[in-house]
Structure 1
Amino acid sequence: MITTRFSKISATVAGLVAAIFVGVANVSADNKTEYNVPISTIHPTQAAVGKAQIASKISTYVENGALTKNYYNDFNDDNGYTNGLYSLNGVSQTDKTTYKTNSIQSVIPDAQLTNDSTAKVPVIKGPGGTLYATDGHHGSTTYEFIKQQYNLGFDTINVEVIADYSSLSMADFYKKLIANNQVLPMAFNVKTGEYQSFSLDRLPTHMYANEFVNDPFRSLAYFWRKSAIDKDNVTANFAEFYLGMFLTSTGEFKGLSFESQDYYLTAFNKGNAILQKLINGDTTYTALFNKVLTIPYGVTPSMLGIQSIFDDTKIAAQRQKLTDALTFLTNTPALATSNTTLFDLNTEQLTKQVATFKALSASDYTKDSYQKVNDLITKANELISNNGSQTDLDNLTSQIEQALRNLVKVPTTEILDTTQFEQQVSRFNKLTATQYDSTHYQSIKNAIAEIQALITNHGTQNELNTKVESLQAKIDALKPVSSVKTATNTSPKHNHKQHLELPRNMVKQPIIISPVMIVLVLMASVSFSYKRFKLF
């Protein structure tokens, strides 16, 4: 949802009654008013202003080298002293004379805001205590310009501190602002005719007219008041910019460069016609408004102050007011000078990727993969030429980086000298696997397989030579494992008696004489005696 403007707050019991707004922290009587803050120290939360609107204001604020009643009325109102009302020592008072002729804060230094009043410049404390305004950009810029250009008026203003994010880092601070819809990270790019996002680190750092981009639609919204817009019913922060987003989405303003009054007046007429149709319920514009603003941002026509009835009787006077403002703007170059670098793209990363690509040779890669990178770079260059967004360029740069990683090499036709490899393979094949450590042996087989794959996939000679050298080193380092293992002595303790024992079959046994043995002995004895007898 879009945050509301910060309107006056009524509190009868201090700190207890708060006005609740859409999508942002409450603004209550507890909010701290800071007085006489130098406008030059306040940082904007939007990158654009309507220069024609500021020109219109200045033309009514300065006449014949002096400030007018209009200046003092608006300046005192913006400081919170509405209609001359202020508080002194806790007592509410009104000074209509000073209200119309001077600064109440300057004439009455001790003047405070009443409980019913709020300074019209709500601010947030950012890192380092820096104040960031969420509204009041046009008034602050106008007062600062008048002081610098004419040395008239005042360059300090009262502000209302609505939040304190001073403890956050800069990155987290920006995230907080975006999450709470307290910053507008987009602006109208006159070169493309569209609203484009930008990096928040490019926000202006002062309420200086020349630091802002000029948004013609922000000015035109001011001049569509009374005919189509009631400013007192505007409740959305940055309402006029959202109105510009809707109008440009119609396509009716294409080709308008806003370099002359004619472009502004043409846009003024077109805008009135579209808003009249929207107010009258035209289905095409109602559907488009819903698509562009209501669905994505939660903004409705009533939040932008769009009236329920179109008043065409106010158009002529507003057109003349616009014409006078444009004349003043044309004659005031210091005001017309605007920021022209907001949408300049950061191409540093793209440049690096392009340099990497240019260092490659197209013949080394497949046609399709090489052409894909080339096409993406062409697309990125076209985006830069057409003032595209930083987000789109960053996305393309990432695609180029990925496409470079995905480049496919063309298979080489180089005839490889595999002599050294074959010698090492032959040498390895003569080895017996069981004689070597299995892990080391397997690592050599893996290295051989890897080299064979390199040859199959058409690797380079340098790659082959390097791997063959590594293979040779592995084979050289291969050492045989000894086949004779040292046994562990598990014999019993040496026993001499044991060595002296005979086998069991040789140990003396009891003598057992059988009859058969006696007969045999006797026969042998007779035979021996007979032989002996014959000899004698």
Structure 2
Amino acid sequence: MITTRFSKISATVAGLVAAIFVGVANVSADNKTEYNVPISTIHPTQAAVGKAQIASKISTYVENGALTKDYYNDFNDDNGYTNGLYSLNGVSQTDKTTYKTNSIQSVIPDAKLTNDSTAKVPVIKGPGGTLYATDGHHGSTTYEFIKQQYNLGFDTINVEVIADYSSLSMADFYKKLIDNNQVLPMAFNVKTGEYQSFSLDRLPTHMYANEFVNDPFRSLAYFWRKSAIDKDNVTANFAEFYLGMFLTSTGEFKGLSFESQDDYLTAFNKGNAILQKLINGDTTYTALFNKVLTIPYGVTPSMLGIQSTFDDTKIAAQRQKLTDALAFLTNTPALATSNTTLFDLNTEQLTKQVATFKSLSASDYTKDSYQKVNDLITKANELISNNGSQTDLDSLTSQIEQALRNLVKVPTTEILDTTQFEQQVTRFNKLTATQYDSTHYQSIKNAIAEIQALITNHGTQNELNTKVESLQAKIDALKPVSSVKTATNTSPKHNHKQHLELPRTMVKQPIIISPVMIALVLMASVSFSYKRFKLF
């Protein structure tokens, strides 16, 4: 088992959602072995299988509507009863007849694994007690398919619990699997011809053939056995997928769509040739293997079961085996149907940025800054069309968002009509600040300053008109504050002193007696004397 960290692809676990779990029922436990577990309740830890390999197995398992001894041999082996060996009441037993004709677990319900045997389906307990298989995907999927498609065989299997992470959250659970290399968050994308990462929440939830992506290299690894690969020496989890990553990195398989038998057979020949050179110490392929697998993941050729010598005498038989498998696959649409949504990209954020860009007018911005956004959007659309990775799309979306913020406006030479603005300013200047609410009054001053800045910075007429309309509305809404109330008209207390007070105009003024006034006084005096005289 590899313990090297998946450092390059661990970021794909960001933003994972919890899966829907199906509980395992009617399962007895014997130490770490759980017996008769429904295959449909076991979750995969890889998103792809080799459909041609499964087709090859099914073609040898089912003949004339019945199961062959090959089926029972493999099924009993995968249950842990290798060569018919089992334990009953603590005593080892052997039943070669049942081994080749039926399920030992079915015929002998109390059969247990011996101390030196294990089930071939290792599982990990995840959140909620759900079981996740780290191996045995092809066998389990094959048995489940045969049961569903032909109503033959068995859809339960013994499993070996190798770890218990049931107490973890889903996010921590996936991280744990990544850290321990117990999950493969990469799969072959036939449209791009490369292995790409995907979000682990898109892992299949059943061992159903149609929920898996088809990986032709996973199938071909099965047919390169004996010539280049010894399956009994494989020690790496997901070894065949690692092999596919190395082979595709050579660039030798570009242009193969794997929609025809010819593409598979071409790839079969190319793979044998490359592996032969690798085995023989070709420096180019040795260096490439180190770069692609050994340095980043710690994987060596021997861990993938690559033989020390290449045996070309095995090629012809394996090629024929592949040909027969492809013929069966072509004639079994239910098996050939694959998951088509694994690499679908989340374009929600990109769509928002594109909508923002489309709302802008190119004439308002410099050509270079506007074109940069346009080019990035084109690149993102191409990535989506070519089924690129979510990581690459997220990176492009961030670049688009930044480029939108960096758009440079074209300086305008438009002569602005400021008549309405000037009228409002004149109108405002006639007002006395102390007569109005200071906050509202200041907001109008701020609006005037903002409009003046717009004019200085060569804003557009539309922008100016909009702001002037807002300014006018603010001035219209400006109301004087309430005046101080005058005193009530009540009679004041009588004050004698006020009768003695003279107006200022009469205080300390020089006494001026005109001649006329003297004459009048004299006349009045004579008249008074005359009247007095007559009386007497």
TM-score by length of 1: 0.77
Contact 2:39 2:156 (C-alpha < 8 Å) held by counterparts? yes
After alignment, is 38-47 or 426-435 more displaced?
Answer: 426-435
Contact 1:7 1:118 (C-alpha < 8 Å) held by counterparts? no
Tell me: CA distance 1:25–1:419, structure 2 relative to 1, closer, same or farther (3 Å).
Answer: farther
Contact 1:24 1:180 (C-alpha < 8 Å) held by counterparts? no
Q: CA deviation at 1:368?
A: 1.6
Contact 1:11 1:17 (C-alpha < 8 Å) held by counterparts? no
Q: Which residue in 2 is equivalent to 1:178?
A: 178
After alignment, is 446-455 or 210-219 more displaced?
Answer: 446-455
Q: Which residue in 2 is equivalent to 1:336?
A: 336
After alignment, is 179-188 or 482-491 more displaced?
Answer: 482-491
Contact 2:12 2:199 (C-alpha < 8 Å) held by counterparts? no
Q: CA deviation at 1:119?
A: 1.3
After alignment, is 339-348 or 362-371 more displaced?
Answer: 339-348
**Two-structure CA RMSD over aligned residues (Å):** 9.6
Q: Which residue in 1 is equivalent to 2:483?
A: 483
Unaligned runs of 5+ in 2: none
Contact 1:23 1:180 (C-alpha < 8 Å) held by counterparts? no
Q: Deviations over 1:382-426 (max 9, x none)?
A: 222222222222222222222223222333444434456556777
Tell me: CA distance 1:75–1:490, structure 2 relative to 1, closer, same or farther (3 Å).
Answer: farther
Contact 1:134 1:183 (C-alpha < 8 Å) held by counterparts? yes
After alignment, is 65-74 or 12-21 more displaced?
Answer: 12-21
- SS of residue in 2 equivalent to 1:29: strand
Q: Deviations over 1:286-334 (max 9, x none)?
A: 0000111111111110110011111122222222222222222222222
Contact 1:144 1:207 (C-alpha < 8 Å) held by counterparts? yes
Tell me: CA distance 1:485–1:119, structure 2 relative to 1, closer, same or farther (3 Å).
Answer: same
Q: CA deviation at 1:150?
A: 1.5
Tell me: CA distance 1:519–1:374, structure 2 relative to 1, closer, same or farther (3 Å).
Answer: closer
Q: Deviations over 1:403-462 (max 9, x none)?
A: 223222333444434456556777999999999999999998876654432221123456
Aligned-partner Cα distance in 1 for 2:505–2:457: 79
Contact 1:127 1:165 (C-alpha < 8 Å) held by counterparts? yes
Q: CA deviation at 1:68?
A: 1.7
Aligned-partner Cα distance in 2 for 1:169–1:291: 34
Q: Which residue in 1 is equivalent to 2:468?
A: 468
Aligned-partner Cα distance in 1 for 2:88–2:148: 31
Contact 1:123 1:163 (C-alpha < 8 Å) held by counterparts? yes
Tell me: CA distance 1:10–1:330, structure 2 relative to 1, closer, same or farther (3 Å).
Answer: closer
Contact 2:5 2:181 (C-alpha < 8 Å) held by counterparts? no
Contact 2:124 2:162 (C-alpha < 8 Å) held by counterparts? yes
Contact 1:124 1:161 (C-alpha < 8 Å) held by counterparts? yes
Tell me: CA distance 1:344–1:514, structure 2 relative to 1, closer, same or farther (3 Å).
Answer: closer
Tell me: CA distance 1:220–1:7, structure 2 relative to 1, closer, same or farther (3 Å).
Answer: farther
Aligned-partner Cα distance in 2 for 1:436–1:13: 61
Q: CA deviation at 1:282?
A: 0.5
Aligned-partner Cα distance in 1 for 2:484–2:420: 35
After alignment, is 127-136 or 272-281 more displaced?
Answer: 127-136
Q: Which residue in 2 is equivalent to 1:157?
A: 157
| 1:417-456 equivalences in 2 (<5 Å) | 417-419=417-419, 422=422, 449-456=449-456
After alignment, is 142-151 or 500-509 more displaced?
Answer: 500-509
Aligned-partner Cα distance in 2 for 1:215–1:407: 44
Q: CA deviation at 1:530?
A: 49
Contact 1:10 1:17 (C-alpha < 8 Å) held by counterparts? no
Tell me: CA distance 1:295–1:395, structure 2 relative to 1, closer, same or farther (3 Å).
Answer: same
Aligned-partner Cα distance in 1 for 2:11–2:372: 65
Aligned-partner Cα distance in 2 for 1:265–1:461: 69
- SS of residue in 1 equivalent to 2:270: helix
Tell me: CA distance 1:379–1:111, structure 2 relative to 1, closer, same or farther (3 Å).
Answer: same
Aligned-partner Cα distance in 1 for 2:8–2:90: 19
Aligned-partner Cα distance in 2 for 1:531–1:312: 173
Aligned-partner Cα distance in 1 for 2:452–2:323: 83
Aligned-partner Cα distance in 1 for 2:397–2:517: 119
Tell me: CA distance 1:153–1:471, structure 2 relative to 1, closer, same or farther (3 Å).
Answer: closer
Contact 1:17 1:28 (C-alpha < 8 Å) held by counterparts? no
- SS of residue in 2 equivalent to 1:161: strand
Contact 1:42 1:207 (C-alpha < 8 Å) held by counterparts? yes
Aligned-partner Cα distance in 2 for 1:261–1:535: 165
Q: Does 1:273 align with 2:273?
A: yes
Tell me: CA distance 1:223–1:442, structure 2 relative to 1, closer, same or farther (3 Å).
Answer: same
- SS of residue in 2 equivalent to 1:495: coil
Tell me: CA distance 1:324–1:524, structure 2 relative to 1, closer, same or farther (3 Å).
Answer: closer
Q: Deviations over 1:51-83 (max 9, x none)?
A: 111111112222222222221111111111122
Contact 1:61 1:70 (C-alpha < 8 Å) held by counterparts? yes
Tell me: CA distance 1:172–1:494, structure 2 relative to 1, closer, same or farther (3 Å).
Answer: farther
Tell me: CA distance 1:510–1:459, structure 2 relative to 1, closer, same or farther (3 Å).
Answer: closer
Q: CA deviation at 1:26?
A: 27
Contact 2:144 2:207 (C-alpha < 8 Å) held by counterparts? yes
Contact 1:3 1:22 (C-alpha < 8 Å) held by counterparts? no
| 1:15-414 equivalences in 2 (<5 Å) | 32-414=32-414
Q: CA deviation at 1:39?
A: 0.7
Tell me: CA distance 1:99–1:386, structure 2 relative to 1, closer, same or farther (3 Å).
Answer: same
Tell me: CA distance 1:382–1:272, structure 2 relative to 1, closer, same or farther (3 Å).
Answer: same
Tell me: CA distance 1:367–1:442, structure 2 relative to 1, closer, same or farther (3 Å).
Answer: same
Tell me: CA distance 1:510–1:297, structure 2 relative to 1, closer, same or farther (3 Å).
Answer: closer
Aligned-partner Cα distance in 2 for 1:444–1:8: 58
Tell me: CA distance 1:10–1:143, structure 2 relative to 1, closer, same or farther (3 Å).
Answer: farther
After alignment, is 341-350 or 216-225 more displaced?
Answer: 341-350
Q: May I ask how many residue pairs the two structures share in their alignment?
A: 536
Q: Deviations over 1:132-176 (max 9, x none)?
A: 211100000111111112211100011122223333333333333
Aligned-partner Cα distance in 1 for 2:266–2:522: 163
Tell me: CA distance 1:7–1:321, structure 2 relative to 1, closer, same or farther (3 Å).
Answer: farther
Aligned-partner Cα distance in 2 for 1:375–1:233: 50
Contact 2:232 2:305 (C-alpha < 8 Å) held by counterparts? yes
After alignment, is 276-285 or 320-329 more displaced?
Answer: 320-329
Q: CA deviation at 1:526?
A: 49
Aligned-partner Cα distance in 2 for 1:19–1:357: 36
Contact 2:128 2:166 (C-alpha < 8 Å) held by counterparts? yes
Tell me: CA distance 1:71–1:442, structure 2 relative to 1, closer, same or farther (3 Å).
Answer: closer
After alignment, is 314-323 or 217-226 more displaced?
Answer: 314-323
Tell me: CA distance 1:241–1:24, structure 2 relative to 1, closer, same or farther (3 Å).
Answer: farther
After alignment, is 466-475 or 269-278 more displaced?
Answer: 466-475
Q: Deviations over 1:353-386 (max 9, x none)?
A: 2222222222222222221111111112222222
- SS of residue in 1 equivalent to 2:196: strand
Tell me: CA distance 1:306–1:318, structure 2 relative to 1, closer, same or farther (3 Å).
Answer: same
Aligned-partner Cα distance in 2 for 1:334–1:19: 25
Aligned-partner Cα distance in 1 for 2:168–2:314: 48
